[in-house]
Structures are given as structure tokens and as C-alpha cells.
Structure 1
Amino acid sequence: MIQSEADHSVFFRHSSSMTSIYLVVYVDDIVITGDDHEGITQLKQHLFDHFQTKDMGKLKYFLGIEVAQSNAGICISQRKYALDILEETGMLDSRPVDTPMDPNTKLSPNQGEPLADPGRYRRLIGRLNYLTVTRPDISFATSILSQFLDSPCDSHWDAAVRVLRYIKGAPGKGLLYEDKGHNQIVGYTDADWAGSPSDRRSTSGYCVFIGGNLISWKSKKQNVVARSSAEAEYRAMALATCELIWLKQLVKELKFCEPSKMELVCDNQAALHIASNPVFHERTKHIEIDCHFIREKLQSGEIVTAFVNSNDQLADIFTKALRGPRIQYICNKLGAYDLYAPA
């Protein structure tokens, strides 16, 4: 087995007969997959001989993630984990809401009375952070709430409770992966300019699809204050470009596919113009490193940029609090469904 250079927890082996084995390890939990069935049997026997291991059979549960496989595809969710959070916080009987964060709410430090037990807040946010592994729809709210771990107040706790009420509406929501007949890599990137009321920093958000299936996403506050919406969008583009380059290295290494030009999708014409314009001027010299980085990838042909209407911007859900119908629309596009909803 060869250790992946892109992800050190992944090991793989490609045989001369064009078959492959993939092994993912986390501490003492291991997942093995591939199309080399004889090689997988030998690998498991090797592990039995050298370690005290137990074969749990077909993958159904891994690190709190539930896995369901059928001819239609593979579904992953964290229903049991979500219900455990609701039970521990006494929210199992709460009334559901259709948004994880009120669009009219702007949280800031020292907003309200300090919590008597801040550790309870920190534990809850830590658990919500892990829930975002299969719940991209709560990534933005969790990212905002994570900014107040140092000294949480009652307003921050109330906002966290709202996230729990949103989860209560569909604790079994997860991601569906299916064969859509192509292996194209596409990244959507967006930014909310000066969204933080306390320091006016922007929020970057992106999501990446391989073969039409959501693989990676992030909602993150930017490290510096952006002087324009174009600058905020451009910094988000740089963040998404790093993810695209890493994913390309990973899929090539695993021989999952031979990626063609990766597409970077943005809804800001000014940011796209900066990426394609070889002339630096006074307004962009302070973001010159990001400019060089993205333009280098464009000129090498590794990525191509594309414009998308704001209504079809799927990364919108990672940069701002949205209304219920908008969240539902984007979730459907992301492949995030309530797997336990009645048919």
C-alpha cells in the first residue's frame, strides 16, 4: 500500500490488472474499498495476522456517520448523532424552524449577559461543528457561533438553540452520492462583504462538486478587512482555488479520474475581470499575491472561470443567513436531502 501525498490518512494500491484498493484510517478505525476483491481479502487477512482487528462487514456506521448503499447511490447522514445532541440539550420536543439562523440577526461579542456555564456552549458548538460533516446547511451558522467561544453570552446561546430547532425539523438530513455520468470538478465561490458588524470582515464560502456530487465545502471569516466587494469575492476565489488544486492532486493520485479543466464559478463580474486582466493597477495591488496565484492557474489551463447569476449561486448558503425556501432550493442542488422524510 502507498500512502497518499495529498491526504496522509488515505492509502491505496493499483494493480497491473487495472484494479485498485483504497484504505482510509482514523486512529483505530479503518474503511477498505475497491474493485480488487481478492486483494482486499488478502489485505484483511494481513491485518488479522498482525493486529487485533475485527471485520464489521459492509460499511454502515463510521465515526458517527451512517452510510446507506443501494443501486441508486450512497447516502451519508448523522441522524443518531443529531438526535443525541437534541436529547442532551433537552430539545427533542422543541418546535422546528425552517432556518438555522435568523436573517435579521447580527451577532457580536459581549451581546447580552455572559453565560454562567460557558463550557456548555463550547461543547455544543464543538458537536455542531462535527455535524457539518454531512450538514452543509448549518455550516455558516456554526461558523458564526464559533467566533464567540471565548466569552459566550445569552444571545449566542439563543442563536445556537435556533440551530438545534432547525436540526429538529430534519435530523436525518444527509448527502446523496450518485453516478451522474461525468467526473467534472466544479467549484462555486461566494463572499459576503463586510458581513461582521464587530470588525467588518467578510465571510468566504465555497463548495466543490466532483461528477455533480458535493465533495467539499467551507464557510470561513476572512483574515483581513476587504476594501470592496470585488476584493472580498477575489479572496474567496483564492481560497476555493487552493481546494480545487488539492482535490485535483488527490483524484489523480487515486486514479479516480483524469480531471479536465476545473471550473471556478463566481457571481461577481469585477472579481472575474481581475482574474483575467493581466494589468495591475492601484485598486488591486494590495491583493497582488492572490491575483498572481489565481491568474497563474488560469494561464496554465488548470482552471477556467465562469459567471453565474446570483439566484443560481450555490455557495450563497455558506456566506449569509437565508430564508427557508432559498435554503431548501440550494440544499436540493447540493444533494442534501432528508433521507427519512416520508415518500
Structure 2
Amino acid sequence: MDCRSVAIPLAANEKFRKNDGENKANSSLYRSLIGSLLYLTSTRPDIMFVASLLSRFMQEPSQVHLGVTKCVLRYLQGTMDYGIMYKFGGNLNFICYSDRDWAGSIDDMKNTSGYAFLFRSTIAIAKNPVNHERSKHIFIKYHFIRETQEKGEIQLH
């Protein structure tokens, strides 16, 4: 509660390794913190990227990984009034927040990405694949929700 806040959750272009040579951190504490951050991403899409990135190291976190996680907590301390409020009813437009890096993992050259959607219009777009004026920026092959619905992985109500 009394920590100094920081302006950003993660420094730009910061790279991490699974085996960075640092002392190991308490993995139980680390997993608990990362789980809490991942839960928080439903209303705080601004931390989705860093939470996804740090979740790669839950097996054997180092002190560096724990330190970055604490930096995210310091960021949250200074931005407690940020977030998305989900209201019942009303007209919601399709809004997507996303962030990713390209082959940012030094260990396996995989991407890290994160996203969050507001749902009511997402369901309408997924059920009606007609290309509307408001959704023309969403290319057909990227209609992830519709594809997963067709595969039977999710159901839209």
C-alpha cells in the first residue's frame, strides 16, 4: 500500500529468459501473484500483455521475474482508478484491446499476446457474418469467436 507507483507496467523491449542465472524465487508466491494478475485482466486490459508474458515463468521463476511482477503491482497501485466497467443492458459497441510482441521470447521465439473484448456487439457480429460498415476493419479470417463457435468450443447466448 505504501509503495511508489510507476507509470508503466513493463519497460519497452524488455526480454526475459527462463534460465537467467538469477536465484530462484518462491514459486508458490509467484504463481499466486500471476494468477491474481490474470484474473484482474478482465477489467484491466492494460496489464494483459505483461501478465501473459510473466505467466511463462511460473514453473521456475527467478528473482528477476518476481521483481517485474512487483513492478506491475506498483503500476496497479498508481492506477487503481483505471479499468473497464461492464454494465448490464445498454448499447455496447465492439471494442477490442490488444497488445503483442513479435517473437519476443528469447527461449523459444514465440509471441506473447493479450486481448480483451466487450461482449454484446461481439455476439451480434459473430452470429451475423455480414460485413457491416462498423466492422469492416475486422477481416473475415480473424473472426475468432465465430470460428470457435462453429467448432463447438463456445456457445453464444
The reply to whether TM is greater than 0.5 is yes
Instruction: Calculate the TM-score normalised by the size of structure 1.
Output: 0.35
Q: Write the distance in 2 (CA, Å) between the matches of 1:121 and 1:206.
A: 22
**Is the 8 Å Cα contact of residues 125 and 146 (structure 1) preserved in structure 2?**
yes
Q: Write the distance in 2 (CA, Å) between the matches of 1:183 and 1:162.
A: 33
**Is the 8 Å Cα contact of residues 44 and 83 (structure 2) preserved in structure 1?**
yes
Cα offset for 1:148? 0.2
Cα offset for 1:122? 1.1
Q: Deviations over 1:197-252 (max 9, x none)?
A: 2211123444434578xxxxxxxxxxxxxxxxxxxxxxxxxxxxxxx5xx348x96
**Of 155, 159, 169, which aligns to 2:68?**
159
**Is the 8 Å Cα contact of residues 100 and 114 (structure 2) preserved in structure 1?**
yes
Q: Deviations over 1:281-311 (max 9, x none)?
A: xxxxxxxxxxxxx29x7xxxx8xxxxxxxxx
Q: Look up the SS of the partner of 1:172 in the other structure.
A: coil
Give 5+ residue unaligned stretches, structure 2.
147-157
**Is the 8 Å Cα contact of residues 27 and 61 (structure 2) preserved in structure 1?**
yes
Q: 1:165 to 1:264 in 2, by over 3 A?
A: farther
Q: 1:174 to 1:188 in 2, by over 3 A?
A: closer
**Is the 8 Å Cα contact of residues 53 and 112 (structure 2) preserved in structure 1?**
no
Cα offset for 1:102? 1.1
* Aligned residue number for residue 134 of structure 1: 43
Aligned pairs for 1:5-84 within 5 A: none
Q: 1:264 to 1:118 in 2, by over 3 A?
A: farther
> Does residue 1:192 correspond to 2:101, yes or no?
yes
Instruction: Calculate the TM-score normalised by the size of structure 2.
Output: 0.69
Q: 1:203 to 1:158 in 2, by over 3 A?
A: same
**Is the 8 Å Cα contact of residues 135 and 173 (structure 1) preserved in structure 2?**
yes
Matched letter for residue 117 of structure 1: N
* Aligned residue number for residue 174 of structure 1: 83
Q: 1:185 to 1:146 in 2, by over 3 A?
A: same
**Is the 8 Å Cα contact of residues 52 and 113 (structure 2) preserved in structure 1?**
no
Provide the identity percentage.
38
Q: Look up the SS of the partner of 2:6 in the other structure.
A: coil
Q: 1:185 to 1:198 in 2, by over 3 A?
A: same
Q: Write the distance in 1 (CA, Å) between the matches of 2:79 and 2:93.
A: 30
**Is the 8 Å Cα contact of residues 191 and 203 (structure 1) preserved in structure 2?**
yes
Larger radius of gyration: 1
Aligned pairs for 1:257-336 within 5 A: 261=131, 263=135, 265=137, 294=141
Q: Look up the SS of the partner of 1:173 in the other structure.
A: coil
Q: Look up the SS of the partner of 2:84 in the other structure.
A: strand
Q: Write the distance in 1 (CA, Å) between the matches of 2:4 and 2:95.
A: 37
Matched letter for residue 147 of structure 1: R
Q: 1:184 to 1:173 in 2, by over 3 A?
A: closer
Q: Deviations over 1:132-166 (max 9, x none)?
A: 12111111111111000000001101110110110
Give 5+ residue unaligned stretches, structure 1.
1-91, 213-243, 253-257, 267-271, 276-293, 303-343
> Does residue 1:102 correspond to 2:11, yes or no?
yes
Number of equivalences: 141
**Is the 8 Å Cα contact of residues 134 and 175 (structure 1) preserved in structure 2?**
yes
Deviates more, 1:166-175 or 1:182-191: 182-191
* Aligned residue number for residue 322 of structure 1: none
Structure of greater relative contact order (alpha carbons < 8 Å, 6+ residues apart): 2
Cα offset for 1:127? 1.3
Q: Look up the SS of the partner of 1:95 in the other structure.
A: coil
